[in-house]
Chains A and B, each alone.
Chain A
Amino acid sequence: GEDVEQSLFLSVREGDSSVINCTYTDSSSTYLYWYKQEPGAGLQLLTYIFSNMDMKQDQRLTVLLNKKDKHLSLRIADTQTGDSAIYFCAETESGGYNKLIFGAGTRLAVHP
């Protein structure tokens, strides 16, 4: 079945860029998503990319999609302490209903 993989931890210094990577298996996924979960909070949709795009930029966030390698990344420019959270990559399962398949989440820790 479909699978989404992410590295579990990332530690960056405040002001640096963070890059969170994700690989997925379903090549026919139409949309790929990034969600953010702050401690004790729900899931906040950060951004998404349509599968026919290579890149999407939204203020400090840049999403890169390499369909050939089934690789998705999220770059956060000028990372702030408020960016400390778990970031989930998700794909929609193809051929059926709108079922999200999530990665295990990457814990981003931002230190001074």
Chain B
Amino acid sequence: DTAVSQTPKYLVTQMGNDKSIKCEQNLGHDTMYWYKQDSKKFLKIMFSYNNKELIINETVPNRFSPKSPDKAHLNLHINSLELGDSAVYFCASSLNDRIETQYFGPGTRLLVL
């Protein structure tokens, strides 16, 4: 009964490939997020969706495209993967898009070769 789950846990791929990471939450939350953690452990928000609508879009290359088919799911598709995309990607969710605690998934470790 994991609250925020992500698949896959590990992803190793070649430069230039296209890949997707999936996230699901069973908390009944309205808002979901994607964060990127680089090799130095810096964590930075990428996107946020509230009830399937994009509300936060940081300065992220347009090779990254989030999609929210319903409010329990937020997927991240990455086109033309580059070496610099190697990182840990964390999904999170919160009750709504105001000041509410965010709960994080276990992360997806992406390695681009």
Residues of A within 8 A of B (CB): 30-31, 33, 35, 37, 41-45, 48, 86, 88, 92, 97-100, 102, 104-105
Bound complex: CA A33 to CA B94 (Å): 14
Bound complex: CA A35 to CA B98 (Å): 19
B60 within 8 A of A: no
B103 touches A99 (CB 8 A): no
Q: Which residues of A contact B44 (CB under 8 A)?
A: 102
Bound complex: CA A31 to CA B100 (Å): 9
SS class, residues of chain A in contact with chain B: strand
B41 touches A86 (CB 8 A): yes
Bound complex: CA A5 to CA B45 (Å): 17
Interface residues on B, range: 20 to 34
B13 within 8 A of A: no
Q: Which residues of B contact A88 (CB under 8 A)?
A: 43
Residues of B within 8 A of A (CB): 31, 35, 40-45, 48, 50, 55-56, 90, 92, 94, 96-107
Q: Which residues of A contact B92 (CB under 8 A)?
A: 43
Q: Which residues of B contact A33 (CB under 8 A)?
A: 101
A98 touches B99 (CB 8 A): yes
Query: Beyond A45-B104, A102-B42, A104-B42: 13 further Cβ-contacts under 8 Å?
Result: A31-B101, A92-B99, A97-B50, A97-B97, A98-B98, A98-B100, A98-B102, A99-B45, A99-B56, A100-B43, A102-B43, A105-B41, A105-B43
